[in-house]
A and B are shown apart, each in its own frame.
Chain A
């Protein structure tokens, strides 16, 4: 299911990554359907499956961690693409345990 979570379309009205609530969302589910139907190709592309890790992170995350970051100028500029191609890469650094992985 998590595969699907990474693609969404605002056209569907309700944009949500939650597995339960997006079951009605066809576009969101498309990626998963394709992945399921083509297991051979998926394995050929890569043996790695980041879906599982993302699920673990979501389970362990304390909600709203890093919400301040989403409000930051750096993030907003990166997200909106204001800075163009020059600002395409955003690197967040910190020591182990500060919450980099768990930024929501």
Chain B
């Protein structure tokens, strides 16, 4: 997704920030850290950096470089976005975000969107988080993802082509793999 947005020839100047939620990293993946990771990807503008440097020096003076709290982070992110023509934020695997953190993350994203209607947010997750997302983004658009049969066939063909022991597979087995696997996946 990120690469497609990057590759797309377009007249506009766009900035893209991406984040992947991971259940193995709950301790560090707090909402503030996630928003900070997004912000880190949007510092290319001088004024954003200058602002950040000032805030950092101030925090250092005041409390020996204390960590940022979520409201500060959201505020800085909004300021950064305001300096950019258009920002795309992509967050993958929302279901891997701690369920107690998810509302906070969604509220923060909603806050970021407020005042910057051009910002686009792309989210992915398992079906069960859909309701939660629609609770905060009532007009949000949702779309199911499933691989097309053709896509699965092409993937299998490619994998079989790379097989180092091609002789071990008879033509019948080869044909069966290409037929049965896509069928099964389709039934998933």
Assuming the contacts A93-B129, A93-B130, asked whether A98 and B41 have C-beta atoms less than 8 A apart, the reply is no
Contact of B44 among A31, A89, A90 (CB under 8 A): A31
CB distance from A61 to the nearest CB of B (A): 8
By size class, the interface of chain A is 35 or more
Interface size class, chain B: 35 or more
Among B17, B42, B145, the residue within 8 A (CB) of A98 is B145
> With A46-B33, A50-B18 in contact, do A93 and B2 touch (Cβ < 8 Å)?
no
Which chain A residues border B25 with CB–CB below 8 Å? 48
* Residue pair B151, A65 in contact (C-beta under 8 Å): yes
Tell me whether B123 and A90 are in contact (CB under 8 A): yes
Q: Which residues of B contact A16 (CB under 8 A)?
A: 6-7
Binding site for A on B (CB under 8 A): 1-20, 22, 25, 28-29, 32-37, 39-44, 49, 52-53, 56, 59, 65, 67-68, 73, 92-93, 109, 113, 117-127, 129-130, 133-134, 137, 139-148, 151, 154-155, 158, 188
Selected from B53, B122, B141, B158, the residue in CB contact (under 8 A) with A83 is B141
Chain A nearest CB, measured from B156 CB (Å): 10
Asked if A41 meets B52 with Cβ closer than 8 Å, knowing A5-B6, A46-B40, A88-B117, the reply is yes
Contact indicator B146/A79 (Cβ below 8 Å): no
Chain A interface residues toward B at CB < 8 A: 3, 5-11, 15-17, 27, 30-31, 34-35, 38, 40-42, 44-50, 53-54, 57-58, 62, 64-66, 68-70, 72, 74-75, 77-79, 81, 83-96, 98-101, 103-104
In the assembled complex, the Cα of A93 lies from the Cα of B118 at a distance in Å of: 23
- The reply to whether A91 and B18 form a contact with Cβ atoms under 8 Å apart is no
* Pair count A-B, CB < 8 A: 224
Do B145 and A100 touch (CB < 8 A)?
yes
Task: Find out whether the CB atom of B142 lies under 8 angstroms from the CB atom of A6.
Answer: no
| Least CB distance, A31 to chain B, in whole angstroms | 4
Complex CA distance for A70 and B122, rounded to whole angstroms: 12
Cα distance, A9 to B33, chains bound together (Å): 27
Q: Are the CB atoms of A88 and B113 closer together than 8 Å? A: yes
